[in-house]
Structure 1
Amino acid sequence: MLSKLLSRQGVRDLFLGLALLFATLSLMLYPQDSMSAAREGLMLCYNVIIPSLFPFFVLSALVVDLGLAGYIGRALEGFMRPLFNVPGACASAFVLGFVGGYPVGARTALSLYQKGMCTKTEAERLLSFCNNSGPAFILGVVGAGVFASSRVGVLLYLAHAAASICVGLFFRFYRRGKKGREARVSPKFEAERFTTAFTGAVKNSFLSTLNICAFVVFFTVVIRLLFLSGALPALARLLGVLLSPLGFTQEWAERLLTGAIELSSGVWTLSGAGGMAGRMSMAAFMLGWAGLSVHCQVLSFLGGSGLSVRTYIAGKFLHGGLAALFTALLVRLFPLKEPVAAYLAEQVEGIAGIDFSTALTISTTAAWVMWLLFFGAAAAAVRKTSRKRKHAVV
């Protein structure tokens, strides 16, 4: 009934108009709070988003543009095809998605598709599981910051990684019977065009990073206004009533809604009261789902590409559910004590507290290490191919 109602253009326009009116009134009623939230979002971008994402965006662009992904694909075809039913070149998106964090994996998958290294169906399969949270965020921010326990961070990351792989195994059957007719180009390592590839990668990566920062600031303000206006608490009360058979209260419903909209804000709410197992399971769901802010970042890349977002959204929802389930099982297998360092919980007033130079150094170093690993793997694949050709000639 609701889906039929929302399918009508007039009803959608009415809801959109009411939402814009509500946003305008909220900005007029809470101007100082809105500016404060925007400043917090900008500090988050300056201290965390830009230094953590920009180097990996440049790296992912170079890996694809210089043909390294294609060479790596030759070596990893026997691994990626049986498991996920995608070509070996997609291993670059899979690895970068785990190391670089959202939305590096999705952007790399789109680049592979645009370069002809995978078909449309294969790119849609890849999108379902390659866009994941980076280890720095889960181990450092969520584990050490929110839960004041590095062990919690390790368990959450293991559950996150296992759930992502399971989603990839599930979506390998997506349109399995459909034979793709899109041709894949043969990768070429164009060393003489490295300067062109590098300058293009830096320019496009910077624009992509600014695009992401815009969404981060926007959703930081939205979350603040939803709380101040009472809209989010009202929705939480309704959701709490609907989910009361599962033990949900209004507080837990507010946490869930906040994390469903914006991941960083959602995980901070879990530093409060509540059982450790429940808070960890909800954190695992938020990390798997990633939040509407991350989804908008991914959709900004996919716009005009022709790729369906259904597998991406379905994959993220399944990822969140499986991660929560795996976390609950891991907590039963490895019981955790409540964190004793209570003062660490006070550090969760903002991610923006991370030093910019430190974050930039760590991120750039990790990007260079990944670049060297990719280059080494590509070089090994080239040598292996050359030996086979020599033996064939002999």
Structure 2
Amino acid sequence: MKFLLFITIVLIIILLFYLLKYNKVNILMTIILTYFIINFILNPTLCIDASINGAKLFFTSLFPSLFPFIIITNILVAYDGVNIYSTFLGPLISRPLGLPKEASFALIISMLCGYPLGAKYSCELYDLGNINSSELSKLISIASNSSPLFLIGSVGTSMLGNTRAGYLLLFSNYLSCVFMAIILKHKYKEPVSKLKVKTIKASKNNNLGMVLKSSIENAIATTLNIGSYVVIFSVILAIIKNNVVFNIVLNKIYMESSLPKNALSGIILGLIEVTNGCYLLSKGNINYVLSLCFISFLCAFSGLAIIAQIHSFTHKYKEISIIKYVIRKVIQGVISFIITLVSLLFLNDRTLFTFSNKTPLTISFKSYIPILLLLFIYFAHYFSKKLFDVS
């Protein structure tokens, strides 16, 4: 039986490699979607329950915090607030990061609204000639963050039941962006294109009633869009969790890492969709230090669902590599993980972070030595090139 399963996995890998190598994307997607359709037919109860759980997660954790915040942010944008911020804070924010002043618009939007608006406005700045391709590549890596209300409200308050934990996640995620900016920093240059005939500006209509109406409509569309992603990926993740191959891989990782299975499931599935991953980790029987650190990693990485949204804005630019973006987000996730871990070591965890459903820290780190060595080699190579011009 094991041999047959092994052969099946090998054949699946060979098929995927062949389809990707020869750019048979349509065939690949047809196979994947057919698999999900079959699961819908064979396991309707599982899919319906997963859809209901996704909707509950959205309406209890995301909607109450995101909807009013998006309305207020939309009103701020309508009254040119972000451009006002950019005027005063642009040089202060962008120049130290090696970016032009105009890039501060996307940075501020990202800090206020989170994924994927930072990438959206970064692409608009590039289309208008305010930044060049290298600056766009850097900007979409930095201006791609979880929103403060998602971290503080949805994850910290609703999922973890501790607002202070949300503030720690916010601190770690934003500081990891600063570190990424330092790693990617290059000497500031004027944009290649000088045709700055347009800028991103708010509407001239300052009628409060009209602004409020359009802000609410936009907030409804945005939150429903987010909710749709949460629901559909809740179903997809439920199908994956009940897959035989996934459970075998999960058991193998469990035996090597000694992490609880529900925590491992949250981490792996969170790489696909961050909201469900954070929820699984918050409810898992895992030490709260590791729980927060892994949630911090997932929020900084963002998950494949959000990366797909980012790619919907950047795919038209051949000079922008989505693979490079994913690698950078992984590095940012690792940095955020480390910042959260170090921060917790210096905090009074008994008074600041108390989770009754978390277990003591009993994790063997021997299995992580190869990963740490690879990270050390990478950063050693990077800094040797920067400091000593080693090729």
Q: Same fold (TM over 0.5)?
A: yes
- For residue 146 of structure 2, what is the aligned residue in structure 1? 133
CA distance, structure 2, for counterparts of residue 40 and residue 313 of structure 1: 29
Letter in 2 for 1:22: Y
Alpha-carbon offset, residue 99 of structure 1: 2.5
- The alignment of Structure 1 onto Structure 2 pairs a total of residues equal to 340
Letter in 2 for 1:221: V
Could you say what secondary structure the match of 1:261 adopts?
coil
- For residue 315 of structure 1, what is the aligned residue in structure 2? 328
RMSD value, Cα:
4.0
- For residue 233 of structure 1, what is the aligned residue in structure 2? 247
Matches within 5 A, 1:168-179: 168-173=181-186
Which one scores higher on RCO, CA 8 angstroms, separation ≥ 6? 1
Alpha-carbon offset, residue 23 of structure 1: 1.1
Q: Does 1:260 align with 2:271?
A: yes
Unaligned runs of 5+ in 1: 345-394
Contact preservation (8 Å) 1:282, 1:324: yes
Unaligned runs of 5+ in 2: 1-12, 359-391
- For residue 222 of structure 1, what is the aligned residue in structure 2? 236
Alpha-carbon offset, residue 126 of structure 1: 1.2
- For residue 383 of structure 2, what is the aligned residue in structure 1? none
Cα 1:272–1:39 change in 2 (3 A) is closer
Matches within 5 A, 1:94-173: 94-173=107-186
Cα 1:191–1:107 change in 2 (3 A) is closer
Contact preservation (8 Å) 1:125, 1:311: no
Cα 1:236–1:150 change in 2 (3 A) is same
Letter in 2 for 1:224: A
CA distance, structure 2, for counterparts of residue 164 and residue 319 of structure 1: 7
Matches within 5 A, 1:1-394: 5=18, 7-9=20-22, 15-45=28-58, 72-173=85-186, 180-181=192-193, 183-185=195-197, 187=199, 192=204, 210-240=224-254, 244=256, 247-248=258-259, 250-270=261-281, 271-304=283-316, 308=320, 309-337=322-350, 342=356
Cα 1:299–1:64 change in 2 (3 A) is farther
TM-score, normalization: structure 1?
Answer: 0.70
Point out the more displaced range, 142-151 or 152-161: 142-151
Alpha-carbon offset, residue 200 of structure 1: 8.4
CA distance, structure 2, for counterparts of residue 73 and residue 252 of structure 1: 41
Contact preservation (8 Å) 1:119, 1:182: no
Could you say what secondary structure the match of 1:304 adopts?
coil
Contact preservation (8 Å) 1:144, 1:150: yes
Contact preservation (8 Å) 2:73, 2:113: no
Deviations 1:289-338 (A, max 9, x none): 11122222222333435562344323321221101011111121224139
Could you say what secondary structure the match of 2:242 adopts?
helix
Contact preservation (8 Å) 2:67, 2:223: yes
Contact preservation (8 Å) 2:61, 2:159: no
CA distance, structure 1, for counterparts of residue 169 and residue 215 of structure 2: 33
Letter in 2 for 1:290: S
CA distance, structure 2, for counterparts of residue 179 and residue 140 of structure 1: 38
Contact preservation (8 Å) 2:263, 2:284: no
CA distance, structure 1, for counterparts of residue 215 and residue 313 of structure 2: 15
Deviations 1:162-205 (A, max 9, x none): 112111222233x978963363335486875668x969888777
Point out the more displaced range, 306-315 or 85-94: 306-315
CA distance, structure 1, for counterparts of residue 245 and residue 190 of structure 2: 45
Cα 1:279–1:205 change in 2 (3 A) is closer
CA distance, structure 1, for counterparts of residue 162 and residue 56 of structure 2: 25
CA distance, structure 1, for counterparts of residue 20 and residue 92 of structure 2: 42
CA distance, structure 2, for counterparts of residue 190 and residue 266 of structure 1: 36
